[in-house]
Structure 1
Amino acid sequence: MDARARELARIIWDHLVLSGPLSQADVILALGCHDTRVAAHAARLWHEGWAPLVIVSGGRGKITSGWDETEARVFGRVVREHGVPEGALLLEETATNTGENITASRRLLEERGIAVERGILAAKPYMTRRALATAQRQWPGVGWSASAPELGFEAFGADERQFIELMVGDLQRMVVYAERGHQVPAPVPAAAWAAFEELARLGYDGHVIGRPVPPAGS
């Protein structure tokens, strides 16, 4: 892997990854994806007593379209294997993107009469910032926090190109989706945006939406 690409990717990683204190919540919402370490992390949060309920959300997305099962079914199996009982687990199997993870989970919980005042989003480390901004727009009125497996940048070396392309796409979505009203605005530092632009020019554009646009106010 090109050393310059890794250097730029690290800049984006440092912006996208959120870490902060958690508070007691009503639900842990695990955002479905191709990385089952997120499901294991959601189970750990449950065992630590952060919330009494885990909901795993995901149909099939851009990476998991070829899976035989929905992301929610795969995640649900991992959560059970990590000791979360059936009565503390809900599966939401329709969502195909982050916004739908939030809205479909909200609908499912409301149908079951489960009130949510505080929630924890379990996501990949580099999805935490965007997940939080999305939840704050798609399910306002809930006090959201985000949590991820304790994995550093180097833990994602198995498929570095895919990893970098996903981060490039997520960084762009922080701007584009805020402009489209899908998530709350979250300023992108100039250095992170410059890293996005250079990586896109270097060909790491597999998940870029259309033509890159400059972040508002930059």
Structure 2
Amino acid sequence: MPKHVHVLAKKIWDYHLLNQTLEKSDCIFVLCSNDVRVAEHAAKIYLAGYAPYIVFSGGEGELTKGLFGCSEAEYFAHVAADMGVPLEKILIEPQSTNTGENVQFTRELLESKDLTPNKMILVQKPFMERRTFATFVRQWPGKEVIVTSPDISFDEYPNEGLSYSDVINVMLGDLQRIKYYPQYGYSIPQDIPKDVWKAFECLVALGFDEHLVDVAG
């Protein structure tokens, strides 16, 4: 990767991280995806005693259609169970296809089971921490939330299934959504420093535009 691309991408990666500290909570809420390391991180949090149960939320998204042979939530639950999380402590929401639905459908699932967590640990990919927080607070106000992700650096994050280019494209899409989604009522506003948005514009100009949405008008 060219040095200037790395510098710009790292600036955006760092912006997405909230660096919040884990605390004992009522529920672990996992927003599932193609990254199984998120499931492993969530299982470790449960096994460390941070919450009494764990809910996995996710159907099939753009990046996971046909990947697991089941919903993201079901696959992540299998990973957690294999790591020692008791099946009776796992809830599964297998229908959601985006972050807003993750929150909406998980809320409905918990309410159907008379579960009313006031403090939750949200588990997500590193570059989706900030958007997850902004979306959750808008879609389910009045709750105390802590957002966490696997402790993986930008340089360590790509693997055999996800290239540097993939990571940059996706996290630029998330940054664009952080900027524009509040006007549609999807999330609360987040301050974006000028140098972070300039890095976004530079990377888009270099062709990293695969996960951008149409925000015309």
TM-score by shorter chain over 0.5: yes
Q: Who is 1:36 aligned against?
A: 36
Whether the aligned pair in 2 keeps the contact of 1:46 and 1:84 (CA below 8 Å) is: yes
Residues 41-52 of structure 1 mapped to structure 2, 5 A cutoff: 41-52=41-52
Distance 2:2 2:47 in 1: 40
Distance 1:211 1:101 in 2: 22
Whether the aligned pair in 2 keeps the contact of 1:172 and 1:212 (CA below 8 Å) is: no
Q: String of CA shifts for 1:117-173, please: whole Å, max 9, x gaps.
A: 010100111111111111101111110110111111111233111001011001111
Q: Who is 1:65 aligned against?
A: 65
Normalised to the residue count of structure 1, the TM-score between the two structures is 0.94
- Aligned-partner residue type, residue 3 of structure 1: K
Q: Who is 1:102 aligned against?
A: 103
Which residue, out of 175, 181, 185, partners 1:177? Answer: 181
Which residue, out of 192, 199, 214, partners 1:195? Answer: 199
- Aligned-partner residue type, residue 208 of structure 2: Y
Residues 20-31 of structure 1 mapped to structure 2, 5 A cutoff: 20-31=20-31
Distance 2:215 2:113 in 1: 42
Residues 24-173 of structure 1 mapped to structure 2, 5 A cutoff: 24-67=24-67, 68-158=69-159, 159-173=163-177
Unmatched segments (≥5 aa) in structure 2 = none
Change (3 A) 1:2 1:212: farther
Measured after TM superposition, the shift of residue 4 of structure 1 is 2.0
Distance 1:94 1:103 in 2: 11
Measured after TM superposition, the shift of residue 211 of structure 1 is 5.4
SS at match of 2:156: helix
- Aligned-partner residue type, residue 109 of structure 1: L
Change (3 A) 1:37 1:212: farther
Unmatched segments (≥5 aa) in structure 1 = 214-218
- Aligned-partner residue type, residue 17 of structure 2: V
Whether the aligned pair in 2 keeps the contact of 1:197 and 1:212 (CA below 8 Å) is: no
Whether the aligned pair in 1 keeps the contact of 2:28 and 2:55 (CA below 8 Å) is: yes
- Aligned-partner residue type, residue 135 of structure 1: F
Distance 1:115 1:128 in 2: 23
SS at match of 1:156: coil
Measured after TM superposition, the shift of residue 92 of structure 1 is 0.4
Distance 1:77 1:66 in 2: 17
Measured after TM superposition, the shift of residue 71 of structure 1 is 0.5
Distance 1:139 1:211 in 2: 24
Measured after TM superposition, the shift of residue 178 of structure 1 is 1.4
Q: String of CA shifts for 1:53-80, please: whole Å, max 9, x gaps.
A: 1000000111112322110111011111
- Aligned-partner residue type, residue 186 of structure 1: Q
Distance 2:35 2:190 in 1: 25
The percent of aligned pairs where both chains have the same amino acid is 38
Q: Who is 1:216 aligned against?
A: none
Whether the aligned pair in 1 keeps the contact of 2:180 and 2:215 (CA below 8 Å) is: no
SS at match of 1:187: coil
Measured after TM superposition, the shift of residue 197 of structure 1 is 0.8
Whether the aligned pair in 1 keeps the contact of 2:13 and 2:171 (CA below 8 Å) is: yes
- Aligned-partner residue type, residue 30 of structure 2: A
Distance 1:141 1:157 in 2: 35
